[in-house]
Amino acid sequence: MRLLIDFFPIALFFVAYKWHGIYAATAVLMAATVVQMGLIYAIDRRLQTVQKVTLLLVLVFGALTLTLQDERFIKWKPTVLYGAMALALAAALWGWKKNILQVLLGSQLKLPAPVWSRLAVAWIGYCAFMAALNACVAAYFSTDAWVDFKLWGYVFPVLFLVGQGLYVARHLKDDPA
């Protein structure tokens, strides 16, 4: 169910783009993201910081795209989001010596400190990679190619999360029954 909630804004964006173009797709994405966050809030009774930032960026970059009739804004939104996440994780880990992942998930996952550090570094690298990849596609490819990348590029987060899950599973401490 959660995967459907996470995926439906990009799926609706893709369909709206194919039928009506980038501006209609941007409006659909904005509305779908508001609905998505409403559903997440109804289920969890809260939104995580990254969800709030995502919603804000979709609405701001979407509004700029529609108001200025300039598709570059919506195309660069993922680069800004991933770049901000990489910077926040890196600044917290190496600047303030705080592991945001451990702070957020430490009560749910009991992992050794070195594993938390490797996870944080992996997330920093992943976010930097995705920011750079989106920037490359947004800057050097057509809007059609970028939209296709947004849909089929979902393989990157899925593979990354599966890899993270397999890595974490190897290090989970067994609780005595």
In sequence order, what are the residues at sequence separation of 6 or more whose Cβ sits closer than 8 angstroms to the Cβ of residue 88?
100
Look at residue 171 and tell me whether its pLDDT is greater than 70. yes
Residue-level pLDDT at 177? 47
Q: Are 30 and 10 in contact (CB under 8 A)?
A: no
Residue-level pLDDT at 173? 66
Spell 157-169 as b/e; 16+ CB within 10 A means b.
eeebeeeeeeeee
Look at residue 4 and tell me whether its pLDDT is greater than 90. no
Residue-level pLDDT at 147? 95
- As a whole number, the mean pLDDT across the chain is 92
Between helix 113-140 and helix 143-152 the angle, nearest 10°, is: 150
Residue-wise pLDDT for 101-113, tens only, equals: 999 888 888 899 9
C-alpha dihedral over 134, 89, 10, 51, to 10 degrees? -150
Banded model confidence at residue 7, pLDDT cuts 50, 70, 90: confident
Q: Are 58 and 33 in contact (CB under 8 A)?
A: yes
Range 10-20 average pLDDT: 95
Look at residue 36 and tell me whether its pLDDT is greater than 90. yes
Residue-level pLDDT at 117? 95
Give the global pTM. Answer: 0.85
Cα separation values, 80 from 8, 38, 60, 83, 147, Å: 21, 23, 12, 5, 17
